[in-house]
Homo-oligomer: A and B are copies of this chain.
Amino acid sequence: MQLSKQQAEQRTDQVYDVLVVGGGPAGLSAGIYLQRYLLSTLIVDKGKARSLWMQEMHNYLGLPPDSSGRDLLKQGKAHYLSLDGDYLNAFVEEATDEGETFALRVRIGRNNPSYVTLRSRYLIAASGIIDNLPTFTDMQNVYDYAGYNLHVCLICDGYEMQGQRVGVFGRNEGSLEVAFSLGWFTSDITLFTGGAFDVSDGFRDRLRTHGYRLEERPLHRFVGENHIMSGVELRDGTLIPLDAGLVSMGSKYHADYLNGIDLEYKGGNLVTDGMNRTSHPRIFAVGDLKVGLNQVIVAAADGALAATQIWRDIRRQEGSRAPAKQSAA
């Protein structure tokens, strides 16, 4: 059930089998599998899943190619709730390993927040990442286009950028490397530094070889209408027309609550085994937070794998959760 603050406070004396941090595709898929394994589950979601940006998911098997991330999450949440899983809108501040259980300190509400501590035997980190965006004075100008034709994922949207005039927005030379992969789909590429960093002579040579442009002047804003970005206006007033943008400015990893637990990372991503178990035997990581391909369909499979392994673990310990035996016929 969808838990109110009061209901969450009543859950503080129980131990869930699994707490799932994050109600995106990975967390919801895990929750669906867990509940179907008869494991008690609570998903804690802070909102703002990366997939909420996705106006159209073009590559998710089983859904029409104009399905939105929002619709996927809505369907997945209803599915999970229909299996009697608990769901709480809240922010996980800190996870503590108590040995047999984890204690999660959770903040509910933004203004006048209240705090509860919830416990579980296993933890699934499905809290994902969020892409850094260009920082303009008017951030609404950025949000107007992000997820429409201001893309953050080459794999997801390269196909749509075929032959288009595409601007790549980076935060350092390394982040601009994506332009060479984008070159698979289009050769009309302009790289924007916003004047925020310098690039090496070697990099400039490579751009020249590929025929890509480098624009180092500071940026002012995107132009366009109805969520369709049609170019970038520089601070000096120059307008650079574009058909699409690709933001490659790194990501924020939503994993601060794990800081007190020793886990193996690679970059910002959690290292996991084939069933998505981290270096901690009772913590799993799924979706964008783990090392791997950041795709919705992969995140959904991640959730299934983690849930299945947790079921195997608990089943080996407990044996059965069958209802009391009926009289034999």
| Contact surface of A with B, Cβ cutoff 8 Å | 25, 28-29, 32-33, 36-38, 58-65, 67, 72, 75-76, 79, 82-83, 155, 158-159, 162-163, 165, 181, 183-188, 211, 241, 274, 292-293, 295, 297-298, 300-305, 308, 311, 315, 319-323, 325-326, 328-329
Contacts and interface: CB of A to CB of B under 8 A. Distances in A.
A301 B296 CA distance: 9
B33 A59 contact: yes
A304 B65 contact: no
B300 A304 contact: no
B300 A297 contact: yes
B62 A76 contact: yes
A326 B188 contact: yes
A323 B162 contact: yes
The 10 closest A-B pairs by CB, nearest first: A301-B301, A163-B323, A36-B159, A61-B300, A29-B61, A187-B322, A298-B301, A241-B329, A187-B325, A62-B72
A297 B37 contact: no
A165 B298 contact: no
A28 B61 contact: yes
A312 B315 CA distance: 40
Contacts of A319: 183-184
Contact of A163 (B36, B187, B302, B322): B322
A295 B308 CA distance: 11
A83 B325 CA distance: 52
Given A63-B75, A322-B162, A185 B38 contact: yes
Contacts of A187: 320, 322, 325
Contacts of A59: 32-33, 36, 304
Given A60-B62, A65-B79, 15 more contacts: A32-B59, A32-B61, A36-B158, A37-B158, A61-B72, A61-B75, A62-B75, A64-B79, A65-B82, A184-B320, A185-B321, A187-B322, A241-B329, A274-B274, A298-B304
Contacts of A301: 295, 297-298, 300-302
Given A63-B62, A301-B298, A326 B165 contact: yes
A64 to B, nearest CB: 7
Contacts of A323: 162-163, 186
Contact of A75 (B64, B76, B302): B64
Nearest to A302: B301
